[in-house]
Amino acid sequence: MSKAERILSMYDRLLKGSVLIKAEEASRFEVDNRTIQRDLDDIRAHLSEEGILEMELVYDRKRMGYVVRKNRHH
């Protein structure tokens, strides 16, 4: 699977309300945790650059994974 396919898969699941756990994603895609972190950083940058102000990628400590949530500041 290409990097683009991996990121799109994660992005799609995030938008559908999934919680992404780095170790699980690394296992799913057979890549290193650092690769998943870079992918998450790319998704975060995309949300910021594209002016998608109402959403942000955050780490949810209760759910122990990354989620997209509505940004209350906008």
Q: What is the pLDDT of residue 72?
A: 60
pLDDT tens profile 4-57: 999 999 999 999 999 999 999 999 999 999 999 999 999 999 888 766 667 889
pTM: 0.87
Burial class (CB in 10 A: 0-12, 13-18, 19+), 65: middle
Q: Which of 3, 7, 5, 2 is nearest to 40 (CA)?
A: 7
Q: Where do the domains of the chain lie, and which CATH numbers do they carry?
A: 3-70 (1.10.10.10)
Please say if the pLDDT value at position 61 is more than 60. Answer: yes
